């Protein structure tokens, strides 16, 4: 499996490790099929944990030297062993004067092999979530709800690739009852690989939207990729899909895939009614029960519905679910509402695609309409859209104009396309393009004003968290938005 620079950065700094089930060196060698020094095989040592970051190594850990475009873990093998690693997993041609190395053809593949074995010999249930958007928020909601009644485990951040997913599985405590994981993909075949490791008891597709088009080429290819999560489903497991996604439903029916559906469509098995977003909070009605949600935007209300479709599989009542959801806190950098001394900030700069952009802009309009404030859209590039990038960014600018954005500040390679679409509709309003995020940050004080409501959104490559930090410096202390009244 390959790994992109974006995905590698998600797993390069690991700050939290639960206690995995201890395994012997002999079992480790057997599981990953490595070549080793025979002195190591007869060692009585055991592996307490695994790590891909030499900075977090503790005595008893196994260090996996993972290669990537920005750094190569092999450069830190010596450091990891000196810090107390029991052994290091390295590629076959790596030379080092140590008896505590195990050589394999592919260290990422070996990590996956170990996680696959570990999953097979532990008794916890796995909930695996994939989709074009909403994976992390849905996972966090499910964890928040189930953790009240079960011993649950989830990964820090969005560890959902060929490195992050195995680490998530391996870090599950042997006493864990439920592990809630994400499966992400940038190209065909990745979900099938990850679901074979996770072997979920419950597999979920939150949605299938135009995202990562550069790697997939079409929505149909995305649907096929996301639905392949069912290939790893354990016998008797449950497959849940978004029933409002007609292309996804059609694909599953055509392929003879058994599923249960959630959504707003009358044919969905688990249905939401009266979905109302009030900007920084909202509500939906499920089976006659009103579920109040302290989250921003309609998309998050649908994430709550997906979470209910999962949690009901564990025997929870709607009353229990609604009570837990009412105390949920927004996930960092995902439509996270922050009230500063003189502006309101919508921090949604973790990632972006056309659908999530539309949801965020709609949310901005709703909040601005309630407060009669000027709406400001700080827009970064949507990455990995391939040949459609120019058109989709121009359409985003047009959408922003139709949703009443009063000021548009764009950055990145397609910033001009966004402002072009915007000014074609509202030539009377200000729309500025900045070549880099740094240049945008240096000019914020000349555009953003007290009482503005500011949406900051773009793909991770735009690094718009820098704009958030600059706004915090310019407009005072941050106050987390409270629960709905």
Mean pLDDT of 426-454: 97
In this prediction, residue 5 carries a pLDDT of 39
What's the mean per-residue pLDDT of the chain? 91
pLDDT > 50? residue 14: no
Contact 110, 116 (CB under 8 A): no
pLDDT band at 395 (very low <50, low <70, confident <90, very high): very high
pLDDT > 90? residue 97: no
pLDDT band at 247 (very low <50, low <70, confident <90, very high): very high
Of the candidates 240, 232, 16, the residue with the CA atom closest to the CA atom of residue 116: 232
Mean pLDDT of 80-101: 93
Mean pLDDT of 221-231: 96
User: Tokens for 473?
Assistant: 């410096």
Mean pLDDT of 175-190: 95
Instruction: Kindly report the backbone phi and psi dihedral angles of residue 106, in degrees, each rounded to the nearest multiple of 5, phi listed first.
Output: -145, 115
pLDDT > 80? residue 296: yes
Mean pLDDT of 366-386: 93
Mean pLDDT of 198-208: 97
Distance, in Å, from the CA atom of 118 to the CA atom of 112, rounded to the nearest integer, reads 10
Domains and CATH numbers, the chain: 22-105 (3.40.1390.10), 122-325 (3.40.1190.10), 336-474 (3.90.190.20)
pLDDT band at 157 (very low <50, low <70, confident <90, very high): confident
Distance, in Å, from the CA atom of 255 to the CA atom of 261, rounded to the nearest integer, reads 16
Summarize pLDDT for 316-358 with one digit per residue, the tens.
Answer: 999 999 999 999 998 888 889 999 999 999 999 988 999 899 9
**Which is higher by pLDDT, 74 or 280?**
74
pLDDT > 60? residue 10: no
pLDDT > 80? residue 480: no
pLDDT > 70? residue 86: yes
pLDDT band at 98 (very low <50, low <70, confident <90, very high): confident
Query: What b-and-e string marks burial along 250-270, b requiring 16 or more CB atoms within 10 Å of the CB?
Result: ebbeeeeeebebbbbeeebeb
**Among 10-14, 31-35, 135-139, 427-431, whose mean pLDDT is lowest?**
10-14
With 0-12 / 13-18 / 19 or more C-beta atoms within 10 angstroms meaning exposed / middle / buried, residue 382 is buried
pLDDT > 80? residue 156: no
In this prediction, residue 377 carries a pLDDT of 98
Contacts of 288 (CB under 8 A, 6+ apart): none
Mean pLDDT of 456-466: 94
pLDDT band at 69 (very low <50, low <70, confident <90, very high): confident
**Which is higher by pLDDT, 413 or 15?**
413
pLDDT > 50? residue 245: yes
pLDDT band at 212 (very low <50, low <70, confident <90, very high): low
């Amino acid at each position: 499996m390959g790994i992109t620079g974006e995905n590698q950065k998600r797993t390069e700094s690991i700050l939290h490790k639960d206690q995995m089930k201890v395994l012997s060196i002999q079992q480790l060698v057997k599981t990953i099929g490595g070549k080793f020094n025979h002195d190591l095989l007869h060692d009585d040592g055991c592996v307490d944990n695994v790590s891909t970051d030499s900075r977090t190594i503790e005595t008893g850990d196994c260090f996996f030297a993972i290669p990537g475009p920005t750094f190569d873990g092999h450069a830190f093998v010596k450091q990891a062993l000196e810090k107390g690693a029991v052994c290091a997993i390295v590629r076959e041609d790596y030379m080092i004067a140590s008896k505590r190395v195990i050589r394999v053809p592919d260290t990422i593949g070996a990590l996956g092999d170990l996680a696959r074995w570990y999953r097979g010999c532990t008794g916890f249930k796995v909930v695996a979530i994939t989709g074009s958007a909403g994976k992390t928020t849905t996972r966090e909601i499910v964890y928040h709800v189930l953790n009240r009644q079960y011993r649950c485990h989830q990964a820090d951040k969005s560890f959902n690739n060929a490195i992050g997913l195995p680490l998530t599985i391996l870090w599950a405590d042997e006493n864990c009852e439920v592990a809630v994981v994400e499966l992400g993909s940038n190209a065909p075949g990745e979900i099938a690989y990850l679901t074979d490791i996770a072997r979920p008891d419950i597999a979920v597709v939150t949605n299938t939207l135009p995202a990562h088009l550069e790697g997939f080429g079409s929505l149909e290819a995305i649907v096929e990729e996301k639905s392949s999560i069912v290939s790893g489903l354990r016998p008797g497991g449950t497959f849940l899909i978004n029933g409002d996604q007609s292309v996804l439903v059609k694909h599953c029916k055509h392929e003879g895939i058994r599923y249960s559906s959630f959504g707003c469509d009358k044919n969905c098995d688990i249905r939401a009614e009266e979905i109302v977003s009030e900007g920084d909070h909202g509500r939906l009605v499920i089976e006659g029960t009103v579920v109040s949600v302290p989250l921003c935007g309609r998309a998050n209300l649908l994430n709550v519905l997906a979470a209910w479709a999962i949690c009901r599989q564990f025997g929870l009542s709607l009353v229990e679910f609604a009570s837990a959801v009412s105390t949920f806190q927004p996930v960092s950098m995902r439509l996270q509402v922050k009230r500063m001394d003189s502006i309101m900030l919508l921090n949604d700069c973790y990632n972006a695609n056309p659908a999530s952009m539309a949801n965020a802009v709609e949310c901005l309009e709703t909040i601005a309409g309630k407060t009669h404030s000027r709406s400001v859209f700080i827009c970064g590039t949507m990455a990995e859209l391939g040949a459609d990038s120019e058109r989709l960014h121009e359409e985003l600018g047009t959408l922003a104009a139709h949703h009443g954005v009063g000021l548009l500040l764009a950055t990145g390679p397609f910033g001009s396309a966004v402002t072009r679409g915007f000014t074609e509709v509202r030539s009377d309003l200000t729309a500025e393009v900045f070549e880099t995020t740094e240049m945008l940050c240096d000019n914020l004080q000349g555009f953003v004003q007290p009482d503005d409501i500011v949406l900051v959104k773009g793909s991770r490559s735009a690094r718009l968290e820098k704009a958030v930090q600059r706004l915090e410096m310019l407009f005072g202390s941050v106050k987390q938005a409270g629960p709905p009244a």
